[in-house]
């Protein structure tokens, strides 16, 4: 008769293989979490830049570059500075059906710089705008 005993449990080799698989899975999981955290941070920064650009565009949408070619507005932690330069000289606008308009118009390139008190320059946006200037009065004849 053979005296063979059945032992239950894991052998040392099985335990080492299990721990190796667990370590590899953990490393892959930590790499994935780190990658996700970096992607979330980049998405958050992109969203912040987009909101800053939208605010800059909304600000200069109400500015007539022929009237105020330069300016500065402070809003919370941000400072918006703009400077406009003429791309086309001011010229008489046409009014349908009469001909000459009351206004002169010109094409301007406006650059808006947005800075933050903590971080300095945050964003710079360049756009083209129409500037206008009233040069005539309405003739009521």
Domain ranges of the chain: 12-134
Q: Tell me, what's the pLDDT at 101?
A: 85
Interior angle at CA 49, CA 48 and CA 50, nearest 5: 90
Query: pTM score, two decimals?
Result: 0.68
83 and 119 Cβ atoms separated by less than 8 Å: no
Q: Give phi and psi for 42, each to the nearest 5.
A: -65, -40
**pLDDT < 50: residue spans in the chain:** none
87 and 108 Cβ atoms separated by less than 8 Å: yes
Residue 56, Cβ neighbours under 10 Å: how many?
24
Q: Tell me, what's the pLDDT at 134?
A: 92
Burial 92-124 (b: 16+ CB within 10 A, else e): ebeeeeeeebebbbbebebebbbbeeeeeebbe
Q: Tell me, what's the pLDDT at 6?
A: 66
Q: Tell me, what's the pLDDT at 71?
A: 95
């Amino acid at each position: 008769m053979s005296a063979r005993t059945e032992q239950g449990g894991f052998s040392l080799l099985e335990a080492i293989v299990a721990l190796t698989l667990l370590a590899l899975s953990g490393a892959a999981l930590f790499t994935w979490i780190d990658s996700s955290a970096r992607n979330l941070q980049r998405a958050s920064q992109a969203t912040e830049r987009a909101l800053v650009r939208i605010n800059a565009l909304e600000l200069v949408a109400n500015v007539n570059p022929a009237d105020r070619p330069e300016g500065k507005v402070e809003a919370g932690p941000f400072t918006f500075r703009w400077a406009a330069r003429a791309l086309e000289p001011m010229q008489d606008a046409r009014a349908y059906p009469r001909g000459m308009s009351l206004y002169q118009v010109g094409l301007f390139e406006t650059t808006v710089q947005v800075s933050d008190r903590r971080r300095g320059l945050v964003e710079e946006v360049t756009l083209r705008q129409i500037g206008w200037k009233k040069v005539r009065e309405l003739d009521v004849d």
